[in-house]
């Protein structure tokens, strides 16, 4: 019934295809959240012989494997490069680093897109991509929702707040803090 209503809405209002959450992805994210897995906690996905450490990138890997049949690389930076190699990455923020507002994101994101952050901790790689989440769509109150794992609360569903810094680390000589921020999104389908 939900899928039929979504198809009707999408046919009548094509722009809404970008805003409506996908029931299978949302259901999988809710089921994963219900497991109560803390950040870095163990979870053995169906068909796996050993547990995964459920950080942000493994949560994204699991959700897109289960709902899209896509096998992603292990880390956020490897996932970023994977999406980039397939020509599906869109950098945001420009030279001066401003992050677009929520309305900008709502018009562009589709359920299943990966959202990437840089500098949420001191990176050991280039580009300094350190965090990833899966966009779910709009919630019941119109808020933008994403799923994954965050170090403060574990695996779950969170509101996307694009202009709020996430994490960070000491910058040049430890004098200036480098704030974690959204830098790109990618689409696999």
Residue 3 lies in a domain: no
pLDDT in tens, 45-63: 999 999 999 999 999 999 9
Spatial contact of 16 and 10, defined as CB atoms under 8 Å apart: yes
Residue 79 lies in a domain: yes
* Residue 18 tokens, joined: 């970008």
CATH code, 126: 3.90.1720.10
Percent of the chain with pLDDT over 90: 65
Question: Which secondary structure element, helix H or strand E, spans residue 9, and what is its range?
Answer: helix 2-12
Residue 15 lies in a domain: no
Residue 163 lies in a domain: yes
User: Which residue, chain included where needed, has tokens 């921020």?
Assistant: 181
pTM for the full predicted model:
0.85
Counting the structural domains of the chain, the total is: 1
Residue 148 lies in a domain: yes
The range of the structural domain enclosing residue 26 comes to: 22-186
Residue 10 lies in a domain: no
Residue 8 lies in a domain: no
Residue 16 lies in a domain: no
pLDDT in tens, 121-159: 888 888 899 999 999 999 999 999 999 999 888 999 999
Residue 46 CB neighbour total at 10 angstroms? 7
């Amino acid at each position: 019934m939900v899928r039929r209503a979504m198809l009707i809405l999408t046919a009548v209002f094509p722009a809404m295809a970008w805003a409506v959450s996908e029931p299978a992805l949302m259901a999988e994210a809710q089921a994963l959240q219900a497991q109560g897995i803390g950040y870095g906690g163990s979870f053995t996905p169906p068909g796996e012989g050993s547990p995964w450490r459920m950080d942000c990138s493994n949560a994204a890997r699991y959700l897109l494997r289960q709902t899209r049949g896509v096998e992603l690389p292990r880390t956020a930076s490897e996932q970023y490069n994977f999406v980039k190699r397939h020509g599906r990455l869109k950098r945001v923020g420009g030279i001066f680093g401003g992050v677009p507002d929520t309305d900008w994101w709502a018009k562009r994101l589709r359920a299943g897109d990966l959202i990437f952050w840089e500098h949420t901790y001191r990176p050991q790689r280039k580009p300094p991509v350190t965090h990833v989440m899966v966009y779910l769509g709009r919630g019941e109150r119109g808020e933008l929702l994403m799923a994954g794992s965050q170090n403060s609360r574990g695996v779950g569903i969170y509101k996307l707040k694009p202009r709020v810094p996430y994490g960070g680390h000491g910058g040049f000589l430890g004098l200036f803090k480098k704030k974690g921020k959204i830098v790109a999104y990618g689409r696999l389908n």
